[in-house]
Amino acid sequence: MSLHLSPKVMDVAFLVLFASFFALALVTYAVRVRLHLSTLPPLRPRGAGRRLLPSLLVGYFYWLTKPICRLAIRSGQSASFFTVLGLVVAFGTAIAVGAGHFALGAVLLITTGALDVMDGEVARALRSTSARGAFFDSTIDRVADGLMFGGCVVYYAGTVVMYAALVALVMSFVISYARSRAETLGLTGAEGLMQRADRITLLSIALAFSPLIGHHVEGFVPHPTYAVTAVALFIMALLNTGTAVARIVWTMKQLGDPALVSAQAGQTEAARVERLVPVEASGPAGAAAAAAALRGRSHQVG
């Protein structure tokens, strides 16, 4: 005898499981912070990329993915493996969202974000960080961002929501490019609220809540509007645009002060060394590794 669940029951079951899992984990993390068993990530100073999400949620996600990161490290796979795996899951996310399977899209999008954390943790744990690895990871992240919003563009094709998704997509690229270009000109940090984690979080939540609310309001029609995701895309289009403008204005202002650019250039180089060389490296060996890392030859691709 097979158990047949109606689509409405499946919508409710998914949302209850989704919300319960993350809510219980968040409460657990908050209690740990209260008991000083976990530490919140430090607030970023102005110019270092302000966060839309509070430190509690940022720290919670890293804490939640820590056990998975440990398993990833023990697997013996390279960081690049998880970067590529994240790209594959991002493709799956785009296909799921484009086909209207928003609940599945939410799960896959969160998985993409988790894999993005994992590849960095694996690279640091295996001491395989490198300029090549950082470039590869950043480039794949841009592709994943395009797929994330691209699925929404496909689903909402021919509607006004499609334009919101397109604006959110283009501005997410502008945000990333403005920061990377500023760093090549000797600036560290960047202004604006919408970091990549913020975009993934907001869209994941919208996708997860869309099926139940959309089916309740519109019924099980062939192509529901899914108003929750539609509204979220308009909000993200506005926030992404505001972030891009803030980042451009901030960068232009900094570049107008030659003394400040010269001072920050040294900080940029130091930060670059810190990203390329494992934290554990110190003393003469660490200095040698830093010099080799700057020449781009000392480490394997991360």
* pLDDT recorded at residue 130: 81
* pTM for the structure as a whole: 0.80
Helix (H, G, I), strand (E, B) or coil at 39: coil
What distance in Å separates the CA atoms of residue 241 and residue 253, rounded to the nearest whole number?
A: 18
* pLDDT recorded at residue 120: 86
What distance in Å separates the CA atoms of residue 37 and residue 28, rounded to the nearest whole number?
A: 11
What distance in Å separates the CA atoms of residue 290 and residue 272, rounded to the nearest whole number?
A: 9
Structural domain containing residue 118: 32-41+53-294
Mean pLDDT of 223-251: 93
Identify whether 235 is part of a domain: yes
First vs last C-alpha separation in the chain: 50
Q: What is the pLDDT of residues 112-148, one digit of tens each?
A: 999 998 888 888 888 877 888 888 998 999 999 999 9
Identify whether 170 is part of a domain: yes
Identify whether 255 is part of a domain: yes
Which CATH number belongs to the domain containing residue 197 in this structure?
1.20.120.1760
pLDDT of residue 165 exceeding 70, the answer is yes
Helix (H, G, I), strand (E, B) or coil at 53: coil
pLDDT of residue 280 exceeding 90, the answer is no
Identify whether 15 is part of a domain: no
Count the Cβ atoms, other than its own, within 10 Å of residue 214. 22
Identify whether 20 is part of a domain: no
What distance in Å separates the CA atoms of residue 232 and residue 93, rounded to the nearest whole number?
A: 17
Domain count of the chain? 1
* pLDDT recorded at residue 189: 63
Identify whether 48 is part of a domain: no
What distance in Å separates the CA atoms of residue 175 and residue 296, rounded to the nearest whole number?
A: 26
Q: Are 280 and 231 in contact (CB under 8 A)?
A: no
What distance in Å separates the CA atoms of residue 207 and residue 228, rounded to the nearest whole number?
A: 8
| Percentage of the chain lying above the pLDDT 70 cut | 79
Q: Are 195 and 52 in contact (CB under 8 A)?
A: yes
Write the DSSP string, 246-273: HHHHHHHHHHT-HHHHHHHHHHHHHHHH
**Higher pLDDT pick, 84 / 42:** 84
Confidence of residue 263 (pLDDT cuts 50, 70, 90): low
* pLDDT recorded at residue 47: 53
pLDDT of residue 64 exceeding 50, the answer is yes
What distance in Å separates the CA atoms of residue 30 and residue 37, rounded to the nearest whole number?
A: 10
Q: How far is the CA of 47 from the CAs of 58, 151, 241, 253, 270, in angstroms?
A: 18, 32, 17, 11, 17
Identify whether 212 is part of a domain: yes
For residue 38, report the phi and psi dihedrals to the nearest 5 degrees: -135, 155
Identify whether 204 is part of a domain: yes
* pLDDT recorded at residue 290: 39
> Closest Cα to residue 150, out of 95, 225, 84?
95
